Copies of this chain bind each other. A is one copy, B any other.
Amino acid sequence: MSDALSKRIEASLEESLSCAVGLGSPPTLREALHHAVFPAGGRIRPRLCLEVARACGAPSSPLAEGAATAIELVHCASLVHDDLPCFDDAPTRRGQPSVHAAYGEATAVLAGDALLVLAFETLARRGEHAPGQVVALVRTLARYVGGAHGIIAGQAWEVESSVPLAAYHRAKTASLFEAAVVSGAVAAGHDGAAWRALGDRLGMAYQVADDLADAVGLASDLGKPVGRDGELGRPSAARELGVEGASRRLYRLLDDARDAVPPCAGRAEILAWLRKTLDALLVSRGVDSVRRSAVA
């Protein structure tokens, strides 16, 4: 999680946004798009994408950077729509007013739409030298975002009366981690399928960590109100397995994630990065103490 990487991600997001809106475009939407993307949240998905590209021997691929940017734009779009009154009705996000709270519901719907479109545009614009890979990346992104099994399907499960927990979590959270990992490999010219398991286990781990944080964690660190999932009657690993059970599940997923890293040139480096990042996840979600108390 080097600082240089962090700067590359922010600069690339700025560059993409400046293409999305400019002189002569509607000013409120322009402001709302910036508000939706900045300041930075964890940026874990674009980092993951670039770390995988680096592990595959393509540390500075412009296509990987485009893929990382596209995935973060889609993630921001999903947060904007997820916060809407008809879903979570969340007043805050990343410690500031949510987009609809700041700019109104209509602009929030459009900002999410515009970010989705911008994600695909970014892939096409950054990859004109490698159109075959762009086509693969567009298909990858669409698959993990779409209404069948992607994050849109994940949100759609929330309006169903009967929800399969694993399918819900896989679609809602794991899918975009899988997109990040597969896209990083594809952009580096590697086989994306070999990397899928890493993305899946990581994504499932993040979802369980968020469920635990919502049940026992710290609102200030999560950047959104705690206890919302319970209030909304949403499927939650913490409610289904109990705090101790969910905590055990989380640590098993983290072990599985590390085991799922396929053979590659930068295997040691990506494992070291994963260790550091996952430790930080546990602390930031206030769930490192859960394990200590569960184990004690």
Interface residues of A, Cβ cutoff 8 Å to B: 19-22, 24-30, 33, 77, 81, 84, 86-87, 104-107, 109-114, 116-118, 120-121, 123-125, 127-128, 131-132, 134-135, 138-139, 142-143, 145-150, 152-153, 155-160, 167
Nearest-Cβ distance from residue A80 to partner chain B, whole angstroms: 10
A28 to B152, CA, bound (A): 12
Chain B residue numbers with a CB within 8 Å of A135 are 124, 127-128, 131, 134-135
Task: Given A29-B156, A105-B86, decide whether A118 and B131 contact each other with a Cβ distance below 8 A.
Answer: no
Complex contact A159–B106 (CB within 8 A): yes
Determine the residue in chain B with the shortest Cβ distance to A104: B159
Task: Answer whether A28 and B159 are a contact pair too, CB < 8 Å, given A109-B109, A112-B113, A128-B135.
Answer: yes
Give Cα A104–Cα B156 distance, bound, in whole angstroms.
11
Could you list 12 further interchain pairs (A-B, Cβ under 8 angstroms) beyond the known A25-B156, A26-B159, A28-B159? A20-B147, A21-B147, A21-B148, A25-B149, A26-B147, A29-B152, A87-B109, A117-B146, A120-B120, A121-B142, A124-B135, A131-B131
Structural contact, A147 and B25, CB atoms closer than 8 A? yes
A153 touches B26 (CB 8 A): yes
A–B Cβ pairs within 8 angstroms, 22 of them: A21-B148, A22-B148, A25-B148, A25-B156, A26-B147, A27-B160, A29-B159, A33-B147, A77-B113, A86-B109, A87-B106, A106-B159, A107-B159, A109-B109, A110-B147, A110-B155, A114-B152, A116-B116, A117-B145, A117-B152, A124-B138, A124-B139
Write out the residue numbers on chain B whose beta carbons fall within 8 Å of the beta carbon of A112. Answer: 109, 113
